Structure 1
Amino acid sequence: MTEIEQLLQRVAEGARNTRPWGWPSLPEPVDTTAVARAEATLGFPLPALLAALYLRIGDGGFGPEYGLLPLLDGSASGEPAAVPQYLANRKSGRKDPDWPWPEGVLPISHWGCGMYACVDCQNPDGTVLFFEPNADEADHAWYVDAPDLATWLHTWLDGAGWYEESNDDMDMAPWPEFRIRTAAPRAS
């Protein structure tokens, strides 16, 4: 069994045995049509592990704190869906050029107060970023939460994330690619 298969089994067990805040039950997984629709709407593919979570575990409702967002449609508990939230964030970034939303960075989990865990879909391993909109400026609002989605999931399953009470003094490194990924293309 591959490491990813083992991880998916652990996540499935964690998803069955814990409910994030606001989720009374684990939603059914999405089908391949929903993933294809999401990717067509976004204009980029989901990292393979992220797609597998939605296809095999559930349409959100598992993971740390408030859990993964649903992929396309919001939840009964009021959680927004990842794809529409990404589109709204990109649109609001165009209205406020001081707070651009990077292309290909999909919000996957809401932390409250406008904060999100996001997956960099331009990275095949899915670097997990933390967006903190309460910073003074956008350059200080983006941090690397985990080098890849697998590490982020292991951290949650092991109870070792920064969001755990015992780990509240953990520091995250700023995301060095923010300005590169949000710079406007130069006219030639």
Structure 2
Amino acid sequence: MTESEQLLTQVETKARNTRPWGWPSLPEPVDAPTLTRAEATLGFRLPALLAELYQRIGDGGFGPEYGLLPLLDSPPSGEPAAVTQYLANRASGRKDPDWPWPQGVLPISHWGCAMYACVDCHSPQAPVLLFEPNADDADHAWFVDASSLTAWLHAWIDGTGWYEETNEDLEMAPWTDFRIRAATAVAS
């Protein structure tokens, strides 16, 4: 079994046995046409692991705290879909140039208080970033939560993420590429 397959099996097991806040059950996975529509709407492909999570495990409803957002369609609970949230954030960033939303940075999980875990879909490692808009300015609102989606999922499975009560003192590094990526976002 490959490392990736092992990780997916671990995520699937935890997803079937753990309900994030607000999710009464694990939604069905998305089908290939839904993934294709989501990527066409976004204008970029999802990292392979993220696509596999949505197609194999479920359309959101698993993962740390509030769990992954649904990909394209919002569930009855009213939680916005990842694609919808991305498009709204990009539009908002065009209206307020002081708070640009970087292209290709897909919100995948809501933390409350307008905070999101996001995957940088334009980076081969697919790092997971924390957007914390309660900062004084956009330059101080972005942090590297995990160097890759793989590492982020392992932190959830192992209970070592910053959001765990025993790890509240963990410090995240600022996302130093924000200004570079934000400049690209404003230009596009």
What TM-score comes out, normalization by structure 1 length?
0.97
> Is the Cα–Cα contact under 8 Å of residues 100 and 185 in structure 2 kept in the other structure?
no
Equivalence for 1:14: 14
Equivalence for 1:124: 124
Query: How many residues end up aligned between the 2 structures?
Result: 187
- Report Cα offsets for 1:46-104 as digits up to 9, x if no partner: 00000000000000000000000000011222211000100000000000000000000
Which AA in structure 2 matches 1:77?
Answer: S
Aligned equivalents of 1:49 and 1:154: distance in 2?
A: 13
Q: CA deviation at 1:9?
A: 0.2
Secondary structure (helix, strand or coil) at the match of 1:110 reads: strand
CA 1:141–1:86: 2 relative to 1, 3 Å: same
- Report Cα offsets for 1:95-130 as digits up to 9, x if no partner: 000000000000000000100000000012211000
Equivalence for 2:183: 183
Q: CA deviation at 1:186?
A: 10
CA 1:173–1:185: 2 relative to 1, 3 Å: closer
> Is the Cα–Cα contact under 8 Å of residues 100 and 186 in structure 2 kept in the other structure?
no
Equivalence for 1:95: 95
What TM-score comes out, normalization by structure 2 length?
0.97
Identity of matched residues, %? 75
- Report Cα offsets for 1:5-51 as digits up to 9, x if no partner: 00000000000000000000000000011111111000000000000
Equivalence for 1:136: 136
Secondary structure (helix, strand or coil) at the match of 1:64 reads: coil
Equivalence for 2:59: 59
Correspondence list, 1:5-44, <5 A: 5-44=5-44
Equivalence for 1:115: 115
Equivalence for 2:72: 72
List structure 1 runs of 4+ shifted beyond 4 angstroms.
184-187
Unaligned runs of 5+ in 2: none
Equivalence for 1:145: 145
- Report Cα offsets for 1:135-154 as digits up to 9, x if no partner: 00000000000000000000
> Is the Cα–Cα contact under 8 Å of residues 103 and 184 in structure 2 kept in the other structure?
no
Which AA in structure 1 matches 2:67?
Answer: G
Whether 2:86 is the aligned partner of 1:86: answer yes
Whether 2:129 is the aligned partner of 1:106: answer no
Aligned equivalents of 1:24 and 1:113: distance in 2?
A: 22
Aligned equivalents of 2:157 and 2:181: distance in 1?
A: 30
Unaligned runs of 5+ in 1: none
> Is the Cα–Cα contact under 8 Å of residues 94 and 186 in structure 2 kept in the other structure?
no
